[in-house]
Chains A and B, each alone.
Chain A
Amino acid sequence: MPSSIERDQVLKLVEGGAQIVEVLPSEEYNEEHLRGAINIPLRVLTRETTSRLDPAEPVVTYCYDYQ
């Protein structure tokens, strides 16, 4: 089950090399996103679009806020 985490835990995971994924539409990602995040909008989140992620490493998803 995916774990809900707070900012401090995100920072630790980022330090450890976690993959950060913004799932908002590309327009919003292009405006501003967390440093190092990649963009895979929810509506195109498929086996193909996630193939660049390493399934063995932690992945952190985020969007705008509590949505």
Chain B
Amino acid sequence: MSSRAAWRLESLGFTKVYRYTAGKVDWLANGLPSEGAKAGELKVGKLVRKDVPTCHMGEKIGEVARRVSSADWDVCPVVNAERIVLGMLWPDDLNSDPESTAEQRMQPGPQTIRPDTTPHDAQQYFRKREYVLVTTSDGELIGVLRHADVEEQEDK
């Protein structure tokens, strides 16, 4: 949509036209200033943990598990070179055959939410798991939302 708008502006004689491709989601997820009726309302983009380790499909589970453990995590999103989420390694998957690959053990198509979801609305995604992935609508990984972080926020 912003691309079409940028082209339209050029057609109207504007010569210095730029398109902020990552858009409002990216801006708000990074805590940059905003205005409007819901400005300042807490969104999960501000709670998301961006330090979660990731891995690629061809990596051995043993190597991935060591890296994940040393970073004090017990899950690992599987991504491609563009950080698009392809799958998820849950604790059981990380404890499986260390010689198997992430592709063989990952759970494909994990549930994801957008960073502008409110903590209250995010609660429904924690019925089965303690984590949910936060991505752009294109599937690019932003980070992992922990149930504990949402609960702590809801208690405030």
A7 B22 Cβ-Cβ under 8 A:
yes
A24 B1 Cβ-Cβ under 8 A:
yes
Could you say which interface size class chain A belongs to?
35 or more
- A18–B89 Cα gap in the complex (Å)? 43
- A27–B2 Cα gap in the complex (Å)? 17
B32 A34 Cβ-Cβ under 8 A:
yes
Query: In the complex, how many angstroms separate the beta carbon of A67 from the nearest chain B beta carbon?
Result: 5
- A53–B33 Cα gap in the complex (Å)? 22
For this complex, 21 residue pairs linking A to B, each with C-beta atoms less than 8 Å apart, are A3-B19, A4-B19, A7-B32, A10-B27, A11-B32, A23-B5, A32-B39, A35-B34, A37-B35, A53-B14, A57-B16, A59-B9, A60-B19, A61-B2, A61-B17, A62-B20, A62-B23, A63-B23, A64-B24, A65-B138, A66-B138
| Interfacial residues, chain B to chain A (CB-CB below 8 A) | 1-10, 12-28, 30, 32-39, 41, 136-138, 140
Q: Which of chain A's residues have a CB closer than 8 A to the CB of B23?
A: 62-67
